[in-house]
């Protein structure tokens, strides 16, 4: 039964640390699709037919990619399984160009958030959220899921974030003080709610809430859209990563240690995700080009 094989594969992936939620649902759907046609093995023609049911080409590529990896796993023990060709192209979309903010733009955003709407906790909430994102590089989802007991003297404990990994994010003294000022008012407003950031409904913030507040602040300060990028709350994380790379010391060993530390700090699953930020601003690309030119001309580190 193909469904049994899919269940075993999903269990292996989850045991390896992957969340494997939507992927498992997709593969279960494929198994049912195949078994409805009395097929107990992965067949390339059925995989392509099933993947083609998705609306867009990118969705078809991702669906087929799930089956390709399943087939490779199953074929190791049963050569009757077929590995479909990637007829819908690459699964991964081109990563969007990051929108990098200047220190002055960040200051204006935080200030605009502190003046938006009526004089309620909302002002303090979004001022603190934006300042925290800018000073720590947290994902928005990590910030809104913070709980009161995640705040420790050593920093913020980020529990089971995007890749089911927990990590400790140290806080600068100024960030710690700003967070404590917010909590002094927030505790009285919603004493029974364990999440750090709350809405006027006395409930945890939603991602949509943060996005709306960010757009409001961005419009208030006239933050422009760029030809290939627009400002979003995640821009604060992108900016943090780029500024951290710009502060990287010289020397091959120092750069390697810096990149590994930054990748761990940001909670990236692969250090390659951190290296992607090297192309985010012209200054970093210029540095890379200069170093490559010196290397080609005979200079060695």
Active site residue ranges: 139, 162, 234, 237, 268, 277
Determine the Cα–Cα distance for residues 179 and 262; give it in Å rounded to an integer.
23
Chain-centroid distance, C-alpha 15 = 22
Cα-trace Rg, the chain: 24
Strand partners, 167: 158
Report CA-CA distances (Å) from 40 to 2, 84, 116, 122, 251.
5, 15, 59, 56, 56
| Angle, CA of 268, 272 and 276, to the nearest 5° | 95
DSSP H or E run through 169: strand 167-169
Question: What are the helix (H) ranges across 16-56?
Answer: 22-35, 44-51
φ/ψ (deg, to 5) at 247: -90, 5
Closest CA to 126 of 191, 194, 192, 217: 217
Phi-psi region of 222 (alpha: psi -120 to 50; beta: other; left: phi over 0): left
- DSSP reduced 3-state for 78: coil
φ/ψ (deg, to 5) at 210: -65, -40
Q: What does the block give as tokens for 150? A: 């995640």
Q: Do 145 and 155 form a contact (C-beta atoms < 8 A)?
A: no
């Amino acid at each position: 039964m193909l469904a049994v094989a899919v269940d075993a594969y999903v269990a292996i992936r989850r045991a390896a640390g992957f969340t494997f939620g939507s992927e498992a649902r997709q593969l279960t759907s494929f198994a049912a699709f195949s078994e409805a046609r009395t097929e107990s093995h992965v067949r390339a023609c059925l995989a392509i037919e099933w993947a083609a049911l998705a609306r867009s080409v990118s969705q078809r590529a991702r669906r087929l990619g799930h089956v390709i990896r399943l087939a490779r796993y199953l074929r190791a023990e049963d050569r009757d399984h077929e590995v479909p060709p990637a007829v819908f192209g690459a699964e991964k979309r081109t990563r969007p160009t990051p929108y990098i903010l200047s220190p002055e733009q960040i200051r204006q955003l935080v200030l605009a958030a502190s003046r938006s709407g009526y004089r309620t906790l909302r002002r303090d909430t979004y001022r603190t959220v934006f300042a925290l994102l800018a000073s720590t590089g947290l994902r928005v989802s990590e910030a809104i899921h913070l709980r009161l007991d995640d705040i420790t003297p050593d920093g913020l404990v980020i529990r089971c974030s995007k890749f089911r990994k927990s990590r400790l994010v140290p806080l600068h003294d100024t960030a710690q003080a700003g967070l404590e000022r917010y909590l002094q008012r927030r505790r009285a407003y919603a004493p029974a709610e364990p999440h750090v950031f709350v809405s006027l409904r006395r409930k945890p913030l939603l991602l949509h809430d943060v996005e709306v507040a960010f757009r409001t602040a961005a419009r208030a300060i006239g933050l422009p859209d760029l030809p290939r990028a627009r400002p979003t709350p995640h821009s604060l994380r992108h900016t943090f990563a780029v500024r951290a790379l710009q502060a990287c010391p010289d020397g091959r060993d120092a750069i390697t240690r810096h990149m590994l530390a930054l990748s761990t700090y940001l909670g990236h699953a692969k250090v390659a995700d951190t290296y992607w930020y090297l192309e985010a601003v012209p200054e970093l690309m210029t540095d890379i080009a200069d170093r490559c030119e010196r290397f080609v001309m005979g200079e060695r580190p």
